[in-house]
Structure 1
Amino acid sequence: MGRGDLSDREWARLEPHLPRNAGRGGRWVCHRKVINGISFRQRTGVPWRDLPTRFGKWKTCRDRHRRWSADGTWERILRAVQADADAEGRIDWSTVSVDSTSCRAHQHAAGARRRPARYRAGEAMGRSRGGLTTEIHLASDGGCRPLAVLLTPGQWGDAPQMIPVLDRIRVPRLAGGRPRTRPDHVCGDKAYSSRRNRRYLQRRQIRHTIPERRDQRANRLRRGSRGGRPAGFERARYSRRNEVERTINALKGSRAVVTRYDKRAFVFHGTVTLAAIRLWLRS
């Protein structure tokens, strides 16, 4: 086993959730070797053609990663691993934090041809102060592991993406029933302070700790009794917001996440999802 490869414990958790056959093409090549090759590229950021030969053909690793990113296999595996963790009581639903981080796009990630994409803004790449960037929005549990991931162009704001990120939380229950989608408490910084977000959380009966921005507080005080009551704030609870920042730090330990090398948004989403799967397997 090489450095960064799947350990026997991680493989035992992952293997039951992998596809069983390749469909019309015949049998899959060894999943473990190919996934180790994909993980090596995700961790180091090397071009696919520079993968070490111990992982087999580089084209096999690239094609399988692209296929599983396109058909949602990585997302299904992530939810299956989360379901196992939830059944064992290893998900901390008491406080779920939301935040975002910006990833610089490599020059080779630009120039994708216009095609129908699964994200609203094409390839989830925009031009901000730092150049071409992609924004990763995510929600993490109290154990510093991602529950949901969303990609947007780098210049998009954080507040409008809070609801889509929380709507992506769907952890299946092994005992049957509807997937769990509602955390007990949500934390976010001032960027997520808006009436729309607070009404959404109140409608779903989710307690939240989001500080009020200075301009919003001044506007509320200027309106007097019509401005409504101030938003509740728990300082001790807000201190746990560092959990999502630590989750981002762990995800960005992968060079293919901190710098986007993939042209297609769905492929980069698969890269981030694989990094999230590794965090769940190691916990």
Structure 2
Amino acid sequence: MARFDMSDSEWSVVQPLLPTKVRGVSRVDDRRVINGILWRWRTGAPWEDIPERYGSHKPCYNRFVRRRRAGVWDRILKAVSDAYDGDIQMIDSSLIRVHQNGANGDKSEGGSGCMGRSRGGLTSKIHAVVDAFGLPIGLSLSEGQAYNGHQAAPLQSNLPENAIVLADRAYDADIIRDLITSQQAFPNIPQRRRCPPFSKYLYKMRNLIERFFNKIKHFRAIATRYEKDPRDYMAGVKLASARTWIRFNESTT
């Protein structure tokens, strides 16, 4: 087994979640193709440089995109994350540098392509919500200069009752606090002007969301964005997030 390939345990989780209907000629082995896809995202190499042991790069790229369009990667992430612990949730974002190869695509379908101008150049921003174990339960993408609060509403619209939401001062806004409290949940966000109830002890847990970003950035094609289409880039983020879940579940069984 090559360095970034799925283990037998990982494959036993992923295989039942893949499409089983095949039309026409027999398709290339699923496990080999997904290992090729993981190799590409993990190394950040061009698709054309996928090693021969995974076969031609074309089935890897084509199947990655087709399954993104079919919602397969979304379903895998949802299936492995269904048992999340929602009592404590953390929300934050991480800035991603866009490579020049990802910046020259046609953005007509995706508007800005979720790329924006920041001090460091062309950037995107991953927004994430993680549970009490630092595992992802919500993801979105925006331009790099976008205000974090704009992504808070869609990511925090289905909170469990009595959940506690940890966030930094970037989320210190009445509209975000009201969104959380309207769901019978509790914001634990430091505030500049007033002094609402705030637990420094719980706030220390926010390092878990930083750890999550560090884990998915081990995938070099996530740490630097090479994809022109934001939907393809987010599919890679979800694939890496699903693997984080699978490995966590494997370590606790």
Superposition TM-score tier, normalisation by shorter sequence: over 0.9
1:100 Cα deviation (Å)?
Answer: 0.4
Task: Work out which of the residue numbers 93, 108, 112 in structure 2 matches 1:115.
Answer: 108
Worse overlay, 47-56 or 28-37: 28-37
Describe the SS at the equivalent of 1:132. Answer: strand
1:27 Cα deviation (Å)?
Answer: 4.2
1:95 Cα deviation (Å)?
Answer: 1.2
Structure 2 runs not aligned, ≥5 long = 249-253
Coordinate RMSD, CA, aligned: 1.5
1:69–1:269 CA contact under 8 A, matched in 2: no
Structure 2 Cα separation of the partners of residues 63 and 111 of structure 1: 20
Describe the SS at the equivalent of 2:21. Answer: coil
Aligned to 1:195: 174
Query: Is it true that 1:266 corresponds to 2:244 in the alignment?
Result: no
Query: Is it true that 1:204 corresponds to 2:194 in the alignment?
Result: no
Structure 2 Cα separation of the partners of residues 50 and 166 of structure 1: 39
TM-score by length of 2: 0.93
Aligned to 2:137: 147
Worse overlay, 136-145 or 34-43: 136-145
Structure 2 Cα separation of the partners of residues 58 and 256 of structure 1: 16
Structure 2 Cα separation of the partners of residues 195 and 20 of structure 1: 48
| Over 6 Å off, 4+ runs | none
2:37–2:60 CA contact under 8 A, matched in 1: yes
1:92 Cα deviation (Å)?
Answer: 2.7
Query: Is it true that 1:186 corresponds to 2:185 in the alignment?
Result: no
What is the percent sequence identity of the aligned residues? Answer: 39
1:166 Cα deviation (Å)?
Answer: 2.3
1:72 Cα deviation (Å)?
Answer: 1.9
Structure 2 Cα separation of the partners of residues 25 and 70 of structure 1: 20
Distance 1:25 1:143, change over 3 A: farther
Aligned to 2:89: 96
TM-score by length of 1: 0.83
Which protein shows a greater Rg? 1
Aligned to 2:251: none
Residue-pair matches, total: 247
1:28 Cα deviation (Å)?
Answer: 3.4
